Amino acid sequence: MELDDVDWKLLEILQTDGRITFTELARRVSLSAPATTERVRRLEQAGVLTGYVAVVDHRRLGLPIEAIVRVRVRSLDTPRFRERVVPLAQVRDADHVTGDDCWLLRVVCRSTQELEEFVEHAQRFGDTTTSLVFSSPVRTRPVTRETSDGIVFR
């Protein structure tokens, strides 16, 4: 799919304010509402826009601990790891990646005790390395046209 400036602008706005009305969206890109609606519909259709989600602050939900758990899963154990660890409720992101630490899990927990429990569980499938998250200066930065423009600041 070929995207023009207006499409990129729509994506940028929607990645920032996912609940904006089509009327306001149309105003922001200087198009009519029907044209705007149609473009968004096409972006959804093309699989560029895959959904809309509310963002929550886990710390205000009784889950003050956030950690990245890297797991060096033994290859034979991978299917069981997918079944027994990836689906755990604490796991917010699970990435299968290249390299020695072949899985990266972002988990949130009620307490360090619960994190310990989680890590012990994960360790049944391979060695783990756990890092507590101090802060996340960037969380889900919007993808924009400049993202593929080389080394560019935002």
Partner DNA sequence: ATTGAAATCGAACGCTC
Partner DNA sequence: GAGCGTTCGATTTCAAT
Closest by Cα among 149, 154, 64 to 115: 64
Task: Convert 49-77 to b/e letters by CB count within 10 Å (16 or more is b).
Answer: beeeeeeeeeeeeebebbbebbbebeeee
86 alpha carbon, distance to own chain's centre: 15
Cα–Cα nearest to 108, from 64, 152, 141, 154? 64
Task: Establish if 24 lies at the interface with DNA (CB under 7 A).
Answer: yes
* Cβ(88)–Cβ(97) below 8 Å: no
Per CB under 7 A, which region of 9-17, 20-28, 44-52, 99-107 contacts DNA? Answer: 20-28
- Decide if residue 48 touches DNA (CB under 7 A): no
Instruction: Go through the chain and tell me how many residues it has.
Output: 154
Is the CA virtual torsion 118, 123, 126, 128 positive or negative?
Answer: positive
Binding a copy of itself by CB under 8 A: which of 92, 112, 116, 127?
92
Instruction: Identify the residue among 10, 11, 39, 63 touching DNA (CB under 7 A).
Output: 39
Q: Does 134 bind a copy of itself (CB under 8 A)?
A: yes
Is position 96 an interface residue for a copy of itself (rule: CB under 8 A)? yes
By CB under 7 A, residue 35 contacts DNA: yes
Binding mask 45-84 for a copy of itself (x = CB under 8 A): -xxxxxxxxxxxxx-xxxx---xx-------------x--
Among DNA, a copy of itself, none, the one that 78 touches (CB under a kind-dependent 5 to 8 A) is none
Q: Does 49 bind DNA (CB under 7 A)?
A: no
Q: Binding to DNA by residue 31, rule CB under 7 A?
A: yes
Contact residues for DNA, defined by CB under 7 A: 6, 21-24, 30-35, 37-39
